[in-house]
Amino acid sequence: MEEIKVTNLGSSLPVPCVQELAKEALTTVPPRYVRLDQDPPFVSDTSSLPKVPVIDMQSLTSKDLMDRELEKLHHACKHWGFFQVSLSLFGLILLYYT
């Protein structure tokens, strides 16, 4: 019978799961996750980067602006999966009493 050679590829280091790291009040990135052998990304022109969709909650209560804002909300959910909410103090009061 032919002998099978087993190659040892090493082992991985024990790494805490992300949920455990999130429970800690970390103020810096743990050293094991810092890659000093790589150059940091350099972005010279941020105007070409995509912008996170902003949904104006006050516009959602306006008859004139609601359809446009709902389209933005639909697009944000479908293509981004998240959005930023914009709401002024006046808008918050208006929504509360509506």
Q: What is the pLDDT of residue 90?
A: 62
Q: Give the DSSP letter of residue 47.
A: G
Q: What is the pLDDT of residue 1?
A: 63
Return the HEC string of 48-67.
Answer: HCCCCCEEECCHHHCCCCHH
C-beta separation of 57 from 85 below 8 A: yes
Q: What is the pLDDT of residue 69?
A: 94
Q: Coil, helix or strand for 90? A: helix
Q: Which of 50, 54, 92 is nearest to 73 (CA)?
A: 54
Q: What is the pLDDT of residue 65?
A: 93
Cα–Cα distance, 64 to 60 (Å, whole number):
9
Q: For each successive 10 residues of the chain (98 residues), what is the average pLDDT?
A: 73 74 81 77 74 88 92 93 80 62
Q: Give the DSSP letter of residue 44.
A: S
